[in-house]
C-alpha cells in the first residue's frame, strides 16, 4: 500500500477535529473540516467519529468532485469545495453544530454588531444562510453567498461555517463565534441589545488586526501597540 499524501495536513485535520470535540463545538458525528492542498483539498470522511479517525481515513478531493481513498468524503464536500474555490484567501473550512450558534440559526437569525469582537469574523455581522437540505448544491450556494466578505456564517436550522488561514486560527475563530452567539442570546434576555455602528466595528477590527488581538500566535505577530521594555 502506498503512503497517504500530505501526512502533516492529515494530522492537522484530525487534531482540529479533536479540538472541536474538546471545545464542545461538536459532538458525535456532526461537523466536518477541510484543508486546502496544492491542487485540491483534504476533507474528513462521512460518518466517522473524530476520535476514531486515522490519517489514512482523511479523503483527498479535487475541485472536480472526484476523490481518492477508501472512505467516502463528508456529505458536505460541495460547500467545502465551492468555498475553497471561491475564496483564495481561505485555507481551512470548518463546519459544526454548536448549541448557541445553532439556536440562533433555527430562528434564521444571524449575529448583529452587539459586540466589537464580531469584527474578527470579517465584518459587522455574521449572516445566517437560508435553509437547504444538508449536502446539496443549494446549501453550498447559500453558504458561499452568506460568507461573502466574511469568515463565518450560520446555516438556518443547521449550524455554522467558519473559515481561516490556519487550522488553529480557524478553531479559535469558531470558538469565538460560538461565544458571541452565547453572549447574544443572553443579552436578548434583557431586551434588544444596543448595536455598534459599522464605523465603530471597522475601527475595532483595524485595531485588532494591528495588534493581532484575538488571533492565535501561529497566525502572526505581536502586540505592536504596547512597547516592550528596553525597546
Give the residue, chosen from 55, 134, 165, 187, that forms a contact with ligand 13P under the rule CB under 6 A.
Answer: 134
Position 75 contacts ligand 13P (CB under 6 A): yes
Angstrom CA distances, 145 to 87, 131, 155, 164, 218, stand at: 11, 13, 11, 17, 29
Please tell me whether residue 76 binds ligand 13P under the rule CB under 6 A: yes
Nearer to ligand 13P among residue 100 and residue 114 (C-beta): 100
Measured from the CB of residue 75, what is the shortest distance to ligand 13P in angstroms? 3
DSSP states of 17-82: HHHHHHTTS--TT--EEEEE-SSEEEEPBTT--GGG--GGGSEEEETTS-EESSSPB-TTHHHHHH
47 binds ligand 13P (CB under 6 A): yes
**Is residue 31 a contact point for ligand 13P (CB under 6 A)?**
yes
Would you call 76 a catalytic residue per the annotation?
Answer: yes
| Least distance (Å) between residue 110 CB and ligand 13P | 18
The DSSP call for residue 126 is B
End-to-end CA distance of the chain: 55
Grid cell digits, residue 202: 471597522
Identified binder of ligand 13P from the candidate list 16, 32, 102, 140, rule CB under 6 A: 32
**Residue of 8, 52, 76, 200 marked active site:** 76
By the rule CB under 6 A, 74 interacts with ligand 13P:
yes
Q: Say if residues 67 and 61 touch (Cβ distance below 8 Å).
A: yes
Which residues are part of the catalytic machinery? 76
Q: Which residues contact ligand 13P (rule: CB under 6 A)? A: 29-32, 44, 46-47, 74-76, 134
Amino acid at each position: 500500500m502506498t503512503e497517504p499524501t500530505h501526512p502533516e495536513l492529515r494530522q492537522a485535520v484530525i487534531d482540529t477535529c479533536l479540538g472541536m470535540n474538546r471545545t464542545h463545538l461538536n459532538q458525535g458525528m456532526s461537523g466536518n473540516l477541510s484543508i486546502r492542498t496544492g491542487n485540491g483539498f483534504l476533507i474528513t470522511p462521512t460518518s466517522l467519529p473524530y476520535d476514531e479517525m486515522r490519517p489514512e481515513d482523511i479523503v483527498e478531493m479535487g475541485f472536480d468532485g472526484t476523490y481518492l481513498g477508501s472512505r467516502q468524503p463528508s456529505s458536505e464536500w460541495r460547500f467545502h469545495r465551492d468555498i475553497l474555490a471561491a475564496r483564495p484567501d481561505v485555507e481551512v473550512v470548518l463546519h459544526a453544530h454548536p448549541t448557541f450558534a445553532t439556536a440562533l440559526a433555527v430562528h434564521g437569525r444571524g449575529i448583529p454588531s452587539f459586540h466589537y469582537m464580531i469584527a474578527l469574523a470579517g465584518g459587522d455581522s455574521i449572516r445566517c444562510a437560508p435553509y437547504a437540505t444538508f449536502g446539496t448544491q443549494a446549501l453550498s450556494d447559500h453558504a458561499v453567498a452568506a460568507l461573502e466578505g466574511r469568515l463565518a456564517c450560520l446555516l438556518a436550522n443547521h449550524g455554522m461555517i467558519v473559515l481561516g488561514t490556519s487550522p488553529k486560527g480557524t478553531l479559535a475563530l469558531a470558538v469565538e463565534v460560538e461565544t458571541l452567539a452565547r453572549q447574544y442570546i443572553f443579552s436578548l434576555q434583557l431586551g434588544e441589545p444596543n448595536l455598534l455602528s459599522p464605523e465603530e466595528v471597522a475601527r475595532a477590527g483595524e485595531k485588532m488586526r494591528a495588534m493581532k488581538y484575538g488571533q492565535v500566535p501561529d497566525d502572526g505577530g505581536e502586540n505592536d501597540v504596547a512597547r516592550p521594555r528596553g525597546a
